[in-house]
Amino acid sequence: MSLEHKHPLDVFIKIDRLPHRFCPGCGVATTLNIFLHAIKELVDEGKLDPKKLVVVSGIGCTGRVSGYLKFDGAHTPHGRPIPFAMGVKLANPELKVVVISGDGDIVGIGGNHLIHAARRNMDITVIMVNNFIYAMTGGQVAPTTPQKVYTTTTPYGNPEPPFNVVRLVASIGANYLARWAITHPFQLKNSIKKAILREGFSFIEVISTCTERFGRRVGIGDPVKLYNKLKAIAKIRKVSPFEAKYNWDEEITCGEFIDEEKPGFIQMYFNMVKKELGDRT
């Protein structure tokens, strides 16, 4: 009798859509792997019902993630995964809603939605995979692209200072804020578990590798060398988010920056409604 060997994460993946379309060395695939290990642990620990998990993504390489998962979810227009996720959470507060999308999607065209989700302390988790560039659409400059980097829209080098996203989110308000690189798989996994269970708005930035679009433009077209470069500059430190560095040539500071238990939007909303309507709710 033959035994059928399955990967322990197969239960969460649409096997018929494999092999995936991520490039060799792509950090999005690594992030997806880590995310699924975090989900499996939460399910095994009895802390998460996979039938009540919704994963939302937008457009871009990272936007492909939701299409490989067996959870309920949506692939939204560019820049719109956060408001879609907010609508899902408001419609059914019992759900755990996670946004997984790229830096261009979250802080480029979708930047205003990020600001107001954090301001409201909306009860969703946002995992932003930052590969420094608009990768899927041709390698254009992104809000996170380091200065002086050549892209298809900055042929003489990027003149703009990049967005240090953890400083932005920290300045607005969130219950949980962290930044890790794909070179920190265990820290990232534990961070995702914590963020999903946290009330209110939680945000994790994942510094990722993109060999094809970003790596070649900084002279590192080899996936292993690009990974080692990221490993060298991604430093874990216990500092204020406003002291966290974001410099491709020097250091990208990683770690947990905010870990609080403020009431989330859902709790505040229903408390207000109950106060006004009493037994009529």
What confidence tens digit (pLDDT) does each residue in 233-261 have?
999 999 999 999 999 999 999 999 999 99
Give me 3's structure tokens: 């035994």
pLDDT of res. 196: 97
For residues 116 and 23, what is the distance between their CA atoms, to the nearest angstrom?
33
Give me 208's structure tokens: 């990722």
pTM of the model: 0.94
Helix ranges, the chain (H): 27-44, 81-91, 103, 111-120, 165-172, 185-197, 223-233, 265-277
Burial class (CB in 10 A: 0-12, 13-18, 19+), 50: middle
Below-50 pLDDT ranges, the chain: 1-3
Q: What is the pLDDT of residues 34-49, one digit of tens each?
A: 999 999 999 999 999 9
For residues 140 and 146, what is the distance between their CA atoms, to the nearest angstrom?
12
Task: Give how far Cα 128 sits from Cα of 62, 94, 174, 180, Å.
Answer: 9, 23, 15, 10
Residue 100 host element (H or E): strand 96-102
Say yes or no: domain 15-280 is CATH 4.10.410.60.
no
